[in-house]
Amino acid sequence: MTISASGAAKTLNHASELPLEAQLGQKLMLDFRYYCETGESKACRQGMTTLPKPLAEIIAKHHIGGVILFAENVPDTAQIVKLTNDLQTAAQQARNPQPLFISIDQEGGRVARINRAEATSFTGNMSIGATYHKHGTHYASEVASVIGKELNSLGINVNFAPTVDVNNNADNPVINVRSFSENPLEVAKMGAAQVEAFEAQNVISALKHFPGHGDTSVDSHTGLPLVKHDLKRIENVELAPFKYIIDKHAPGMIMTAHIQYPALDNSTFVNKRGEVMVKPATLSRKIMHDLLRESSTTKA
């Protein structure tokens, strides 16, 4: 995950004045999906719905910068508010206290961590995209506004949305209906509307999945997709929504993808099995720094 917007950059500038240990902790966003007391013999599958003292102490001791919540953590609105308050309280016990990023994947549609009984249920991006030619970005904006308002009221300040992958592979097992459209410009406009709507509700948005997960037939959670398109095609399709949105209304964050893009970086490394592999985007300075942070391809 890469922090890239001016609002978030101010926090980073302040954090750069912290001791090195605290700066390192600020780079971490921890998953507390499950928690069981030590000594249990079986794999832990008990959702963490309240903050145990040992985890609160870890947040404070190591100056942890953020946490990500999953469905197991957020079964009830009153419980969510207490949990997020306790998480922020723990962060304030650090020697050099900083506000905590409390994040979630609440895209709407197929990916929504807070259950339908506790948060407003919405259709997914593909059906929102189907309204574009008649209603423009209206429904994209309205959905994001409601989601953002609800997250803010619960103490959640980062939403890993919108998905701005272009839907151009019918065999894609992980994006498909999470994409607004197969048209890059429509994806860009609806994504920009959602960024603006989320952040109007004081919720940081995170474009995903850079540099583009739409044209893959492999889920990057379980495998390593390879995108073989040439540079011109990538600039015109996969990268286009990211550039448009960064230029129009820069998001607070950008989520990167575990995907190989040899046209963007064909350098290799040797994995733990001794195999030579093309670097995935997440390990590539050319993609993460030179392209995303420095190149006019993705920013003005």
pLDDT of residue 7: 37
Count H helices and E strands in the chain, helices first. 11, 11
Output the tens digit of pLDDT for each of the chain's 300 residues. 333 333 333 344 466 788 999 999 999 999 999 999 876 667 888 999 999 999 999 999 999 999 999 999 999 999 999 999 999 999 999 999 999 999 999 999 999 999 999 999 999 999 999 999 999 999 999 999 999 999 999 999 999 999 999 999 999 999 999 999 999 999 999 999 999 999 999 999 999 999 999 999 999 999 999 999 999 999 999 999 999 999 999 999 999 999 999 999 999 999 999 999 999 999 999 999 999 999 866 665
| Residue reference for tokens 């922020």 | 88
Q: In the chain, how long is the greatest CA-to-CA distance?
A: 59
pLDDT of residue 245: 97
pLDDT of residue 5: 37
Residues found in the chain: 300
For residue 31, count CB atoms less than 10 angstroms from its CB and return exposed for 0-12, middle for 13-18, buried for 19 or more.
Answer: exposed
| DSSP string covering 210-263 | ET--SS-SS-TTTS--B----HHHHHHTTSHHHHHHHHHS--SEEEE---B-TT
pLDDT of residue 40: 62
pLDDT of residue 14: 64
pLDDT of residue 41: 60
- Rounded to 5°, the CA angle 167-169-175 comes to 55
Domains, the chain, ranges and CATH?
Answer: 2-294 (3.20.20.300)
The SS3 assignment for 66 reads strand
CB 246 within 8 A of CB 2: no
Alpha-helical (H) ranges within the chain are 6-15, 20-26, 53-61, 77-91, 125-129, 132-135, 138-154, 184-200, 231-236, 240-248, 285
The SS3 assignment for 135 reads helix
The SS3 assignment for 276 reads strand
